[in-house]
């Protein structure tokens, strides 16, 4: 049996990224400082600057890692989920899992702070959404071919609607602390893509 590594055994840079990711997803990027991370890790701010010279570099690294993990999750869905409708359900499940952990989609949070972000972080946020929309277009195309989905409008517009609806559903569910609100919205969204209604 493989034993998971103790948090303290992780490299310092990875532990910094873990904490920064959680803080972004729960507070937002502008609402934490290097001092918050240093205090939690029990290290000096100088040690943080050794790994990430500034908060902009830290933000870029956090988004890059988050985007890579999300892309891996989408690849896993492609490998293991049988049809397009089920892929959309699994995709909505990724968002539900984040919300279940009392967090928000990182790039959804950062989109709300877009005007205050450094340019490289802005570009990374847009790339995350573009990559998701591209994946959704492929799933929608697959759904038309395998007969599990039916919708009106262009695949690009429908993909954008899916993305925006799930991100918005997370935002509305959060203040209620009610995953059920998100789940009801995501289920209605997918029902509307099966021919019983258009998005």
What pLDDT, on the 0 to 100 scale, is given for residue 10?
A: 83
Structure tokens that stand for 111 in this block = 């989109």
Reading the chain (199 residues) residue by residue, the pLDDT tens digits are 333 455 567 899 999 999 999 999 999 999 999 999 999 999 999 999 999 999 999 999 999 999 999 999 999 999 999 999 999 999 999 999 999 999 999 999 999 999 999 999 999 999 999 999 999 999 999 999 999 999 999 999 999 999 999 999 999 999 999 999 999 999 999 999 986 544 4
- Torsion, Cα 97 101 105 106, to 10 degrees, reads -140
pLDDT tens per residue, range 89-100: 999 999 999 999
Helix pair angle (55-80, 84-100), 10° resolution: 140
Structure tokens that stand for 139 in this block = 């799933």
Phi, psi of 150 (to 5 degrees): -150, 130
> Residue-wise over 41-61: b if at least 16 C-beta within 10 A, else e?
bebeeeebeebbeebeebbbb
Q: Please give the angle made by the CA atoms of 173, 157 and 161, to the nearest 5 degrees.
A: 5
What pLDDT, on the 0 to 100 scale, is given for residue 198?
A: 42
Full set of structural domains in the chain with CATH: 7-191 (1.10.357.10)
CB 139 within 8 A of CB 88: yes
What pLDDT, on the 0 to 100 scale, is given for residue 80?
A: 97
pLDDT tens per residue, range 12-46: 999 999 999 999 999 999 999 999 999 999 999 99
What pLDDT, on the 0 to 100 scale, is given for residue 197?
A: 44
What is the greatest pairwise CA distance in the chain? Answer: 58
What pLDDT, on the 0 to 100 scale, is given for residue 199?
A: 43
């Amino acid at each position: 049996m493989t034993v998971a590594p103790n948090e303290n055994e992780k490299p310092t840079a990875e532990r910094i990224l873990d904490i920064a990711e959680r803080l972004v997803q729960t507070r937002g990027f502008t609402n934490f400082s290097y001092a918050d991370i240093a205090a939690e890790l029990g290290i000096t701010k100088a040690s943080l600057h050794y790994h990430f010279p500034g908060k902009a570099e830290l933000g870029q690294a956090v988004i890059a890692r988050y985007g890579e993990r999300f892309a891996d999750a989408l690849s896993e869905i492609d490998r293991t989920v049988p049809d397009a409708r089920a892929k959309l359900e699994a995709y909505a499940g990724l968002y539900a899992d984040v919300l279940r952990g009392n967090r928000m989609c990182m790039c959804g949070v950062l989109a709300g702070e877009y005007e205050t972000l450094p340019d490289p972080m802005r570009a990374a946020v847009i790339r995350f959404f573009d990559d998701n929309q591209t994946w959704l277009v492929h799933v929608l195309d697959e759904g038309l071919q395998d007969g599990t989905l039916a919708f009106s409008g262009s695949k690009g517009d429908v993909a954008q609607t899916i993305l925006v609806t799930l991100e918005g559903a997370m935002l509305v569910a959060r203040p209620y602390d009610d995953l059920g609100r998100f789940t009801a919205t995501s289920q209605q969204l997918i029902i509307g893509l099966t021919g019983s209604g258009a998005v």
